[in-house]
């Protein structure tokens, strides 16, 4: 057996066995190869400017593919402005937009951006990316196997492999999934069941973190005001929004702008639409695996799950004009429920 066929087979075996054991891999050997290739790329620090940062540096499997930091730290120790979101829920919660303000509408675009983001992997451009990819000769063979129709390796193939890998990262079946999908009452103890009732009823959490979908989505894919508030920037909002408009007219990528300007990052959805009504709006995150993804919110400003619940109870009620009064027991029950997701 030639080296090429052998390496393809080995990769196939790895793909089926690895943490990404998944449905479509079995369906198509080609997809299994792409997932295996995507996994290699995801874990390869040589694809970064300083050779030290891979996707997995910030998206750590044991933390539902988050990093446990307030905001992300990329090449040369550069500190960004945003909290790293989970990748484990992307496929299962049927995300239709990506990043906290939804600046990308396809996963193919979202997986390639970090490579050239100055605060993340810091490459100059896609040409440099392809040079780095080609330095690994063994990998060229794998590319040829995974993309037999492609004449050269381009950013498009890198993106396709990363996309297939990220889509395969479904979070494991949660206690709540077993409760709803299998009709098994045991995974939710009475306290968690009380929490579920509050989440759906009195707390109105499910208005945005939808309990619809099977498995459950826990997001409405919409944008809402942040509880963190705009206090820090409200003083000079007019000049700030004007600066954003100027820079986007000059064609500066939103992702690079928000990663380097903390104040602009706080403007949220406005960065995409430039509509004043969207100032300070952020995408509702899916709460799948939320117990593993501290700290919380787009800017990582909330350190613990208890604090996040306190803030959401206080702020969402206030905002919607139904101030919520929740006892310690009720908040503890909400937490017990969130831990089953």
Chain contacts with ligand HEC (rule: CB under 6 A):
42, 53, 55, 57-59, 72-74, 80, 82, 84-85, 87, 90, 95, 98-100, 110-111, 114-115, 120-121, 162, 166, 203-205, 207-209, 224, 226, 228, 258, 282, 284-285, 287, 290, 293, 296-298, 308-309, 312-313, 316, 334
Is 261 annotated among the ligand-binding residues? no
Tokens of residue 284, six digits:
């509702």
Please state the closest distance from residue 185 (CB atom) to ligand HEC, in A: 22
Residue 286 to residue 268: CA distance in whole angstroms? 17
Tokens of residue 139, six digits:
């990998």
Please state the closest distance from residue 2 (CB atom) to ligand HEC, in A: 31
Measured from the CB atom, is 9 or 193 closer to ligand HEC? 193
CA geometry: angle 199, 195, 203, nearest 5 deg: 30
Residue 132 to residue 258: CA distance in whole angstroms? 26
Q: From residue 61, how far is each of 120, 167, 178, 245 by CA, in Å? A: 18, 14, 22, 37
Measured from the CB atom, is 37 or 308 closer to ligand HEC? 308
Measured from the CB atom, is 64 or 141 closer to ligand HEC? 64
Is 205 annotated among the ligand-binding residues? yes
Measured from the CB atom, is 178 or 261 closer to ligand HEC? 261
Please state the closest distance from residue 163 (CB atom) to ligand HEC, in A: 8
Please state the closest distance from residue 286 (CB atom) to ligand HEC, in A: 8
- Which residues contact residue 300 at a Cβ distance below 8 angstroms, ignoring those fewer than 6 apart? 69, 70, 71, 82, 83
Measured from the CB atom, is 25 or 205 closer to ligand HEC? 205
- Which residues contact residue 289 at a Cβ distance below 8 angstroms, ignoring those fewer than 6 apart? 64, 86, 88, 89, 171, 174, 341
Tokens of residue 8, six digits:
């393809």
Tokens of residue 74, six digits:
């990329």
Measured from the CB atom, is 32 or 111 closer to ligand HEC? 111
Is 224 annotated among the ligand-binding residues? no
Measured from the CB atom, is 15 or 121 closer to ligand HEC? 121
Q: From residue 72, how far is each of 84, 114, 200, 298 by CA, in Å? A: 6, 11, 32, 11
Q: From residue 269, how far is each of 72, 75, 87 by CA, in Å? A: 20, 26, 20
Is 298 annotated among the ligand-binding residues? no
Please state the closest distance from residue 306 (CB atom) to ligand HEC, in A: 10
Residue 95 to residue 92: CA distance in whole angstroms? 8
Is 59 annotated among the ligand-binding residues? yes
Please state the closest distance from residue 176 (CB atom) to ligand HEC, in A: 14
Please state the closest distance from residue 49 (CB atom) to ligand HEC, in A: 11
Binding residues: 55, 58-59, 205, 208-209
Binding residues for heme c: 55, 58-59, 205, 208-209
């Amino acid at each position: 057996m030639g080296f090429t066929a052998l390496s393809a087979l080995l990769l196939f075996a790895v793909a089926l066995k690895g943490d990404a054991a998944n449905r479509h891999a079995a369906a198509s050997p080609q997809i299994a190869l792409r997932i295996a290739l995507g996994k290699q790329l995801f874990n390869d620090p040589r694809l970064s400017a300083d050779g030290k940062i891979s996707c997995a540096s910030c998206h750590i499997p044991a933390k539902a593919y988050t990093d446990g930091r307030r905001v992300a730290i990329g090449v040369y120790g550069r500190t960004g402005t945003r909290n790293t979101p989970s990748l484990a829920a992307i496929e299962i919660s049927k995300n239709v937009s990506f990043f906290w303000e939804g600046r990308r509408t396809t996963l193919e675009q979202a997986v390639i951006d970090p490579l050239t983001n100055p605060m993340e992997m810091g490459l100059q451009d896609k040409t440099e990316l392809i040079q780095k990819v080609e330095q690994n000769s063994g990998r060229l063979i794998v590319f040829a196997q995974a993309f037999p129709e492609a004449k050269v390796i381009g950013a498009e193939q890198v993106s396709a492999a990363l996309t297939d890998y990220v889509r395969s990262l479904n979070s494991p079946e949660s206690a709540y999934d077993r409760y709803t999908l299998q009709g098994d009452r045991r995974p939710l103890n009475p306290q968690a069941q009380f929490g579920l009732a509050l989440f759906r009823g009195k707390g109105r959490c499910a208005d945005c973190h939808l309990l619809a979908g099977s498995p459950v989505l826990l997001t409405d894919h919409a944008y809402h005001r942040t509880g963190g508030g705009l206090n820090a920037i409200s003083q000079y909002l007019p000049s700030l929004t004007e600066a954003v408009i100027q820079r986007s007219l000059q064609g500066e990528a939103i992702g690079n702008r928000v990663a380097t300007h903390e104040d602009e990052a706080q403007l949220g959805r406005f960065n995409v639409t430039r509509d004043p009504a969207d100032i300070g709006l952020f995408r509702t995150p899916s709460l799948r695996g939320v117990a593993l993804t501290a700290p919380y919110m787009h800017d990582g400003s909330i350190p613990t799950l208890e604090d996040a619940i306190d803030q959401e109870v206080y702020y969402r009620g206030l905002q919607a004009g139904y101030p919520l009064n929740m006892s310690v027991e009720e908040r503890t029950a909400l937490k017990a429920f969130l831990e089953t997701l």
